[in-house]
Structure 1
């Protein structure tokens, strides 16, 4: 079983099934799991524990999850992963624009949750300021602006490199179209989604093995893009192959 160092994790979810599942399945992987069943309790526990990461449900009995997210982001610096049955684009975009690091839809696989948690924590650590980024055969030196696939150097335009740099800086995180457009082209460009799609297409042509089946720059339909670490993808497959545990959300319960 793959273990990580001990991390404190706070799960804010009103479903006892989810709280029990995360406690039982994440603890053996090195997580000290605490849980809260309401928004106010979650905010209080977050302030007291200052956990390494937070898993947040959107449908809580006393507060809307987005309100809890905004309250936490006012002071909390760690990653917050939203876990919800809400799968409409507006909810996802709103959560990400409000500061969520990631968004996982219920039902979910244990391997996916572990991998997203591990990546979020890894990227949040101070040593992630290294100028060298690697993912599979891809190597990017942010200081020298050198990009290579294996032994082959890849030439990028200034804009292509700036786009790649933004994706690397937020690697593993789902970035909305607005977030990317603002960082690369400025706040006046947030409506130019087609412009962004063109440049993502250019990057894929240069960096992906199969442009029709991208594995590095993933599209989150209606939301934005995510830069996936191919080395981490191997971990997901290995965890999923070793475990058949899947959380089946009670779809007939109240929508959260």
Structure 2
């Protein structure tokens, strides 16, 4: 049974999610503030966290930052905040998805299913070496000629999706859905920004990429020779 931790200070929202999740055979625990949520995660790791940003003690972003310091548990941000800066910050810190209140329960359930499916899909450890670059996905470690290169959680996810399908075209919509979730399948600007950063970090010459190639209007390929 999938264990969902609901982190929200609104009792009505807690009650609504609790009822609807339990009706669909999820195990549910609720927390009304960030510190309680972190304590629950410390005591028993959930399968997915539904995290509100507007909490009374720690801001949801601070909770997410602390979670990502010790776990990759799937996190879906559930928030009334609609500013793109909040979404980008949460996703860059490692949130798996972002859904804005008000939302339909059916949409939320679909997001939960997609997120837990991705998290539960067992894939073999992957290490790639090319042009002095080494990518170790099990350890989330990138190096060039022995020097560490820092990638954000989002950058790692983009690189891993491309690396696991190396040589093949990964269409923009596939990449957006795999990294951010189905609600972001038209946000191609996200890919442009993050791919530029990935190339600056991982290509020898970011102006003349040989590893991360763009197929204009279609998607991207990761090529190793």
Bin the TM-score by the shorter chain.
Answer: 0.5 to 0.7
Which residue in 2 is equivalent to 1:172? 181
Secondary structure, aligned partner of 1:82? strand
8 Å CA contact retained: 2:4, 2:47: yes
Query: 51, 58, 76: which one pairs with 2:46?
Result: 51
Match of 2:12 among 14, 17, 31: 17
Deviations 1:193-219 (A, max 9, x none): xxxxxx686118xxxxxxxxxxxxxxx
SS at match of 2:217: helix
Are 1:186 and 2:200 an aligned pair? yes
Q: Which ranges of 4 or more aligned residues in structure 1 deviate by more than 4 Å?
A: 142-146, 161-169
The answer (yes or no) to whether the contact 1:50–1:76 under 8 Å persists in 2 is no
Length, aligned pairs only: 169
2:104 and 2:86 map into 1 onto residues whose CA distance is 21
Gaps of 5+ in 1: 1-5, 130-139, 147-155, 193-198, 205-256
Q: 77, 81, 88: which is aligned to 1:82?
A: 77
1:165 to partner: Cα distance: 7.7
Q: CA deviation at 1:186?
A: 3.4
TM-score by length of 1: 0.57
Which structure would you say has the larger RCO, counting Cα contacts within 8 Å and 6 or more residues apart? 1
TM-score by length of 2: 0.64
**Structure 2: gaps of 5 or more residues:** 125-161, 208-213, 220-225
CA RMSD of aligned residues (A): 3.4
Partner SS, residue 62 of structure 1: coil
